[in-house]
C-alpha cells in the first residue's frame, strides 16, 4: 500500500466504483409447445400455446410482437396464442425490453404441422447370420431358414442348431470362427430364406499371438551440485504386474528421494518391452541424465508498516529508524522517535499516520528514517450533533374501593429520563402499584414523555383515559380439611351413660367440630374418679390397653375389628379365606376379580407386572385413577361405549378428561427423565386462562424492543426427532408367581425436518441482561435440578412483542412530527 501523496490520489481514493450496468441482463422466452398439430380430418391441438418471458437483472414487463401480425392475449410477461387466431402456417413471437439504451429480446417460432395421407405398407429388411468353427473355410451353408422381422432373428428351426453344423449363436471352441450371412426382405413379418441365398462363409475371428508388455521406467537421484551423475551401470529387472524395478546401483531409485540428499534432482528413463512378465534393461538403454528440479532461492517477505501520532497540525517529522519482524508482524523497537507510536494513541487532536514498506529475505527488515512516507491525516473529531430525543411511556396507578374510574391527574407531572422517576402527581396517583389495602380495584393511566432535555413536563391533558387494570378475585370454593386426633381432659364425676352427653363434655373442651375416630377423652374430678375412653364410629369405647408408643408382637394378633389411621405389615390377608391379599412386595391380588366400589382412590401397582381387573363397576359419578409405577409402564384401560378406549393398543382415544384439582398437574412428565408427548393434535389452539381475577402484582412489562432485539432467531434439526417404541409381551412369571411385565424397547430416531425458534440458554441470558430473573418464559424441565433440560413458553413472547410494536409506533409518531416541523408544516 502506498501513501496518498497528491491531489490525484485523493480524487481516485474518493471516486465511486465503476461498473458496466448492462452486465448479466437478458430476456428468456419459453413456450408450452412449439407447434400446432393439424390432423387430416381437421381441427388441431393444442387449442392454445402459452409463451412466458423471464427477465434477468431487470424489472417490469416485456414488449410483445408477432410476425406476421396475429392476435395474442397478453398479461404482463405471459402471452397466449390460440390456434384459431393463427391464419398462417408459422409466426415468430418476439419478447423485448429496453434498458439504458440497450434492447434485449428473445424469439420463438410457432409452426403448424399437418398429418399426411396413409401410405402403402413398407418392405421389412434384415440380415440373418449363422456361425461355425472349422480348421478350413466351410463349403456348405446353414440351409433353409425363416427370419422374423419383429424379433430380428431366425425363428425356424426353433433350436440353435442349423443345417451342416451351423448355429444361430457363436459356438465355443479354439478353431477359427466363420460367419455366413444372407438378406431377408418382405412386406410380411416372416421371410423364408432358401439355402442358395446364403453368401459364401467368411472368416470372422481366430486366436492371435501374445501381445508385447511395454512401460516407461523412471529412475531418480539427488546430488549436492549441478553436475549430472552417471547412469545406472548394471542391468535392471522390471516386473510389469507390480511396476517395480530392482537391481539399480549408483544411488538411483524409482521414488523421488527427500531433499536431504541434495538440492538437485536428476531423472533418467528407459523403455521395458517384452512378451513375458518382466524385462531386463541393459545399462546402455538408459537415456541421458536430465536435471528435473532444483531447490529455489529464498523468497522475499513484504509488509506495509504503520506508525501513528496525534497533533494539532500535520507533523513534519517521522518515526525514525525501526526494525520490523515479519513473523510477529510488529515493529520490535520499544519506542519510536518524535512522539510517534506503534498503536493509535488516545486524545482529541487529529490522528496522523505514516507508512513505510518492509522487504527482506530474512526474518526482519531495518527501515531507515528516510523510508517513511509523509504523514497523512487519518481521522479527526467531527462537530457535535444536536441532542437526541428522549422518549418514555409513563405509567401511573391508583386503587379504589368501587368499580368507578377515578379522575386523571390534574397537576403537571415532571418526568426525569435518567432515573425514570415522575413527580408532582395528585389525586392519589403513584408510579408504583399501591397495596391492595387501598381498595380492590386497580386503575392505570399512561402518557408519553418526549423531550431533547433531561426532563419533560407532562400536562394534565396528556394523560390517557383511565383503565381498570385489575381487581381482587372472588373467594375459592374449597372446603377446610379435617383436624388431627386429639387427647382432651374434662372435669366430671362419672362417665355419662349416653353418647350425646359425652359429646357435650367433649365440646366443652373447646372443639366445636365434634369428636373424630381415635379421639381420646379423660373424665376426672381430680381426686377419686378418672376414666379415659376413645371415640370410634359414634360411640365412646373403654380402653382396655393403651400403648402410647411402639409395640412388637412376635406371635399372632387376633381381633374382631381393627380400626386405625395407618396399618403397616409384611403381608395382609383379607376375606374369610384370605382371597384378597397385599404381600411384602406390595403386590395386590384377589381371587375374585369382581370389584364393586362406590369410590376408587389410587390403585398403585409399583414396579410389578400390569394390574389386571376383570370387571370394574363404578357407582354414580365415578372416578378411576390408575398410575403406573414407572414412566415406561403402560396403563391400558378398556371399557364399553362412552368410556376410555384402550390407550396402549393404538392411537385412538375416546374420552373426556380433566385433572382432579385445578392448576396442580402437568400433561406429560417433567424432571431429569423428561417424558414428553412427541406431537399434540388439536382442531383449535390451546386456551390459556388470562382472567384478571387470577392475577396479582400486575405491572406493565419491562420487556420490549430492546429485549426482542437481543434474541437470535435460529433454524435447526432435533438430535432425536422421536423415539420408536416397540412392546414385547413376556411369557412366564417370577419366583412369587407374578406374571412378567411386557418388555419395552425404545430406539431414538434422528430429526429430519427443520424447525424455527429460539435457544433457551440464549433467552435466559437476554432475560438476565434485562434484569428479569424469575420469568415463566424460560423454565427448567426439573426446577430442582439446574442441569436439567431448559425449555420455553413461546406464548409468553406475545406481550414483549406487543410492547416492542408500541415502542416502534411511538418512535414513528415522534419522527413524523419532527419531520413535519422541519418541513415547516
Q: Within this chain, do residues 803 and 697 fall inside the same structural domain, yes or no?
A: yes
Q: The pTM is what? A: 0.29
735 belongs to a structural domain: no
Whether 428 maps to a domain, the answer reads yes
How many independent structural domains does the chain possess? 8
Residue 623: pLDDT band by 50, 70, 90 thresholds?
A: very low
Lowest mean pLDDT among 8-22, 94-108, 283-297, 303-317: 8-22
Q: What is the reported pLDDT for 9?
A: 57
SS3 305: strand
Are residues 779 and 696 part of one domain? yes
Per-residue confidence band for 372, with pLDDT thresholds at 50, 70 and 90: very high
The band of 613, judged by pLDDT with boundaries at 50, 70 and 90, is very low
Which range among 316-325, 399-408, 563-572 shows the weakest confidence by mean pLDDT?
563-572
pLDDT at 673 (0 to 100): 55
At residue 144 the predicted structure's pLDDT band, cuts being 50, 70 and 90, is: very high
The pLDDT tens digits for 248-270 are 998 999 999 988 888 899 999 99
Per-residue pLDDT, 295: 86
Per-residue confidence (pLDDT) for residue 444, from 0 to 100? 94
pLDDT class of 813 with cuts at 50, 70, 90: confident
Same domain? 322 vs 363: yes
| Predicted local distance difference test score (pLDDT) of residue 541 | 87
Band (pLDDT 50/70/90 cuts) for residue 411 is very high
* Residue 676 vs residue 403, higher pLDDT: 403
Q: Do 373 and 318 reside in the same domain of the chain?
A: yes
CA distance 210 to 175: 17
Q: 737 lies in a domain?
A: no
Grid coordinates representing 505?
Answer: 363434655
Q: Rounded mean pLDDT of the chain?
A: 82
Please state which of the ranges 179-188, 474-483, 706-715 shows the lowest mean pLDDT. 474-483
| Same domain? 43 vs 77 | yes
Query: In this structure, which long-range contacts are made by residues 13-20, counting pairs with CB atoms below 8 Å and at least 24 apart in sequence?
Result: none
Q: Domain of 706?
A: 692-729+746-807
Please state, for a pLDDT cut of 90, what percent of the chain lies above it.
Answer: 45
Assigned C-alpha cell, 357: 514498506
| Interval 776-804: pLDDT, tens | 899 988 888 888 889 999 999 999 999 99
Q: Given this model, what pLDDT does residue 585 score?
A: 55
Per DSSP, the residues of 802-816 read HHHHHHHHHHHHHHH
- Residue 107 shares a structural domain with residue 144: no
Same domain, 129 and 105: no
In the structure, what pLDDT confidence band is assigned to residue 637 with cuts at 50, 70 and 90?
Answer: very low
Q: Strand locations in 138-176, DSSP E?
A: 145-148, 153-156
* 344 part of a folded domain: yes
pLDDT at 413: 94
pLDDT band at 18 (very low <50, low <70, confident <90, very high): very low
Is 197's pLDDT higher than 80? yes
Span 51-73, pLDDT tens digits: 999 988 888 999 999 999 899 99
| Gap between the Cα atoms of 585 and 606, Å rounded | 9
- Among 454-463, 654-663, 729-738, 787-796, which is the least confidently predicted range? 654-663
CA 246 to chain centre: 59
698 and 803 housed in the same domain: yes
Residue-level pLDDT at 816: 87
- Helix/strand/coil for 789: coil
Higher pLDDT: 239 or 727? It is 239
Listed in sequence order, the residues at least 6 apart from 269 whose beta carbon sits closer than 8 Å to its beta carbon are 216, 217, 218, 219, 286, 287
3-state secondary structure of 503: helix
How far apart CA 806 and CA 464 sit, in angstroms, is 15
The mean pLDDT of 227-233, rounded to a whole number, is 93
In this structure, how many other beta carbons lie within 10 angstroms of the beta carbon of residue 308? 19
pLDDT of residue 650: 47
Q: What string of DSSP letters covers 547-605?
A: -SS----SS----S----S----S-EEESTT--EEE-TT--EEESS-EEEES---EEE-
Do 320 and 273 lie in a common domain?
no
Q: What CATH number does residue 76 fall under?
A: 2.60.40
Residue 506 cell numbers, joined: 367433649
Decide if pLDDT at 176 tops 90: yes
On whether both 424 and 460 belong to a single domain, the answer is yes
Does the pLDDT at position 741 exceed 50? yes
Among 294, 311, 335, where does a domain finish? 294
Q: Which residue has the higher pLDDT, 597 or 300?
A: 300
Mean pLDDT calculated for residue range 484-499: 84
Asked if residue 2 is part of any domain, the answer here is no
pLDDT of residue 681: 77
Q: Is residue 657 part of a domain?
A: yes
CATH number at 797 reads 1.10.10
Identify whether 812 is part of a domain: no
- Residue 86 pLDDT greater than 60, yes or no: yes
Residues in CB range of 252: below 8 A, 6 or more apart: 219, 220, 221, 232, 268
Decide if pLDDT at 421 tops 50: yes
Which residue, among 146, 124, 160, has the nearest Cα to 191 in the 3D structure?
Answer: 146
Domain membership flag for residue 420: yes
What pLDDT is recorded for position 656? 55
* Residue 606 pLDDT greater than 70, yes or no: no
* Number of residues in the chain: 825
Q: Which residue has the higher pLDDT, 184 or 17?
A: 184
Closest CA to 429 of 448, 460, 408: 408
Judged by phi (left if over 0) then psi (alpha if -120 to 50, else beta), residue 168 lies in alpha
CA dihedral of residues 628, 630, 633, 639 (deg, nearest 10)? 10
241-268 burial code (b ≥16 CB/10 A, e <16):
eeeebeebeebbeeeeeeeebbebbbbb
Do 140 and 178 have their domain in common? yes
Query: What band does 599 get if pLDDT is binned at 50, 70 and 90?
Result: very low
DSSP letter for 359, please.
Answer: E
Domain closes at, from 153, 173, 205: 205
Position 488 pLDDT exceeds 90: no
What's the pLDDT score for residue 20? 45
* pLDDT for 649 beyond 50: no
Closest alpha carbon to 804 in 732, 706, 727: 706
pLDDT for 677 equals: 74
Dihedral of CA atoms 728, 733, 735, 741 in degrees, nearest 10, equals: 40
Same domain, yes or no: 573 and 660: yes
Determine the pLDDT at residue 6: 57
Q: What H or E segment, with its residue span, contains residue 823?
A: helix 798-823
Q: Higher-confidence residue: 535 or 646?
A: 535
If you write DSSP's letter for every residue of 56-121 in order, what string do you get? ES--SPPEEEEES----EEETTEEEEEGGG--SSEEEEEEEEEETTEEEEEEEEEEEEE-----PP
* Mean pLDDT (whole number) for 6-16: 53
Percent of the chain clearing pLDDT 70 (strictly above): 80
Gap between the Cα atoms of 804 and 810, Å rounded: 10
Position of cell 428479569?
A: 772
Q: Is the pLDDT of residue 557 over 80?
A: no
Domain boundary at 114, 134, 168, which?
Answer: 114
Hey, how many other C-beta atoms are within 10 angstroms of the C-beta on 238?
Answer: 23
Amino acid at each position: 500500500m502506498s501513501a496518498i501523496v497528491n491531489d490525484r490520489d485523493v480524487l481516485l481514493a474518493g471516486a465511486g466504483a465503476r461498473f458496466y450496468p448492462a452486465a448479466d441482463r437478458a430476456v428468456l422466452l419459453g413456450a408450452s409447445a412449439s407447434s400446432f398439430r393439424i390432423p387430416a380430418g381437421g381441427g388441431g391441438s393444442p387449442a392454445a400455446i402459452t409463451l412466458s418471458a423471464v427477465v434477468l437483472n431487470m424489472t417490469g414487463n416485456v414488449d410483445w410482437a408477432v410476425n406476421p401480425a396475429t392476435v395474442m392475449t397478453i398479461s404482463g410477461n405471459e402471452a397466449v396464442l390460440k390456434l384459431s387466431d393463427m391464419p398462417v402456417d408459422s409466426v415468430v413471437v418476439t419478447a423485448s425490453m429496453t434498458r439504458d439504451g440497450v434492447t434485449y429480446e428473445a424469439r420463438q417460432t410457432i409452426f403448424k404441422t399437418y398429418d399426411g395421407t396413409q401410405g402403402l405398407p413398407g418392405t421389412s429388411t434384415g440380415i440373418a447370420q449363422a456361425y461355425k468353427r472349422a480348421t478350413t473355410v466351410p463349403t456348405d451353408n446353414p440351409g433353409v431358414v425363416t427370419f422374423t422381422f419383429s424379433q430380428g432373428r431366425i425363428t425356424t428351426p426353433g433350436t440353435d442348431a442349423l443345417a451342416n453344423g451351423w448355429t444361430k449363436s457363436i459356438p465355443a471352441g479354439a478353431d477359427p470362427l466363420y460367419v455366413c450371412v444372407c438378406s431377408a426382405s418382405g412386406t410380411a413379418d416372416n421371410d423364408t430364406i432358401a439355402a442358395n441365398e446364403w453368401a459364401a462363409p467368411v472368416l470372422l475371428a481366430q486366436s492371435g499371438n501374445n501381445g508385447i508388455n511395454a512401460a516407461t521406467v523412471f529412475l531418480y537421484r539427488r546430488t549436492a551440485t549441478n553436475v549430472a551423475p552417471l547412469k545406472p551401470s548394471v542391468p535392471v529387472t522390471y516386473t510389469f504386474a507390480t511396476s517395480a524395478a530392482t537391481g539399480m546401483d549408483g544411488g538411483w531409485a524409482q521414488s523421488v528421494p527427500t531433499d536431504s540428499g541434495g538440492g538437485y534432482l536428476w531423472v533418467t528413463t528407459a523403455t521395458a518391452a517384452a512378451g513375458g512378465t518382466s524385462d531386463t534393461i541393459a545399462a546402455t538403454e538408459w537415456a541421458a541424465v536430465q536435471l528435473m528440479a532444483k531447490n529455489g532461492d529464498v523468497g522475499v517477505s513484504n509488509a506495509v508498516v504503520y506508525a501513528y501520532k496525534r497533533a494539532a497540525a500535520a507533523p513534519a517529522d517521522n518515526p525514525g529508524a525501526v526494525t520490523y519482524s515479519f513473523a510477529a508482524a510488529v515493529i520490535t523497537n520499544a519506542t519510536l522517535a518524535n512522539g510517534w507510536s506503534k498503536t493509535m494513541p488516545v486524545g482529541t487532536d487529529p490522528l496522523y499516520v505514516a507508512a513505510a514498506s518492509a522487504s527482506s529475505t530474512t526474518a526482519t527488515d531495518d527501515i531507515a528514517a528516510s523510508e517513511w512516507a509523509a504523514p497523512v491525516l487519518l481521522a479527526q473529531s467531527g462537530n457535535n450533533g444536536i441532542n437526541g430525543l428522549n422518549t418514555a411511556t409513563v405509567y401511573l396507578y391508583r386503587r379504589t374501593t368501587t368499580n368507578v374510574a377515578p379522575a386523571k391527574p390534574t397537576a403537571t407531572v415532571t418526568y426525569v429520563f435518567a432515573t425514570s422517576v415522575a413527580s408532582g402527581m395528585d389525586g392519589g396517583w403513584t408510579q408504583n402499584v399501591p397495596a391492595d389495602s387501598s381498595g380492590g380495584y386497580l386503575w392505570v393511566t399512561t402518557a408519553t414523555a418526549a423531550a431533547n432535555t433531561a426532563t419533560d413536563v407532562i400536562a394534565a391533558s396528556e394523560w390517557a383515559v383511565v383503565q381498570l387494570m385489575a381487581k381482587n378475585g372472588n373467594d375459592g370454593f374449597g372446603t377446610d380439611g379435617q383436624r388431627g386426633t386429639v387427647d382432651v381432659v374434662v372435669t366430671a364425676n362419672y362417665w355419662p351413660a349416653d353418647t350425646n352427653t359425652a359429646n357435650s363434655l367433649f365440646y366443652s373442651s373447646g372443639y366445636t367440630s365434634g369428636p373424630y375416630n381415635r379421639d381420646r377423652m379423660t373424665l376426672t374430678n381430680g381426686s377419686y374418679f378418672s376414666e379415659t375412653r376413645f371415640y370410634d364410629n359414634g360411640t365412646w369405647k373403654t380402653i382396655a390397653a393403651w400403648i402410647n408408643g411402639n409395640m412388637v408382637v412376635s406371635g399372632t394378633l387376633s381381633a374382631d375389628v381393627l380400626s386405625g389411621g395407618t396399618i403397616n405389615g409384611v403381608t395382609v390377608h383379607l376375606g374369610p379365606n384370605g382371597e384378597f391379599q397385599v404381600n411384602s412386595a406390595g403386590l395386590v391380588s384377589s381371587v375374585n376379580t369382581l370389584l364393586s366400589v362406590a369410590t376408587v382412590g389410587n390403585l398403585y401397582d409399583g414396579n410389578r407386572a400390569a394390574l389386571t381387573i376383570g370387571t370394574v363397576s363404578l357407582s354414580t359419578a365415578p372416578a378411576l385413577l390408575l398410575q403406573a409405577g414407572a414412566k415406561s409402564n403402560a396403563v391400558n384401560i378398556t371399557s364399553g361405549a362412552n368410556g376410555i378406549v384402550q390407550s396402549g393398543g393404538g392411537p385412538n382415544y375416546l374420552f373426556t378428561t380433566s385433572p382432579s384439582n385445578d392448576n396442580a398437574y402437568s400433561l406429560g412428565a417433567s424432571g431429569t427423565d423428561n417424558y414428553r408427548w412427541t406431537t399434540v393434535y388439536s382442531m383449535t389452539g390451546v386456551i390459556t386462562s388470562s382472567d384478571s381475577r387470577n392475577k396479582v402484582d400486575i405491572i406493565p412489562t419491562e420487556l420490549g424492543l430492546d429485549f426482542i432485539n437481543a434474541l437470535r432467531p435460529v433454524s435447526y434439526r432435533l438430535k432425536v426427532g422421536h423415539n420408536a417404541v416397540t412392546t414385547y409381551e413376556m411369557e412366564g412369571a417370577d419366583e412369587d408367581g407374578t406374571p412378567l411385565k411386557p418388555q419395552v424397547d425404545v430406539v431414538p430416531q434422528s430429526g429430519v425436518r427443520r424447525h424455527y425458534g429460539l435457544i433457551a440458554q440464549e433467552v435466559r441470558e437476554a432475560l438476565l441482561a434485562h434484569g428479569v430473573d424469575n420469568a415463566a418464559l424460560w423454565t427448567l424441565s426439573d426446577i430442582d435440578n439446574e442441569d436439567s433440560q431448559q425449555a420455553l413458553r413461546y406464548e409468553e413472547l406475545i406481550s414483549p412483542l406487543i410492547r416492542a410494536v408500541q415502542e416502534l409506533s411511538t418512535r414513528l409518531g415522534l419522527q413524523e412530527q419532527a419531520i413535519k416541523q422541519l418541513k415547516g408544516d
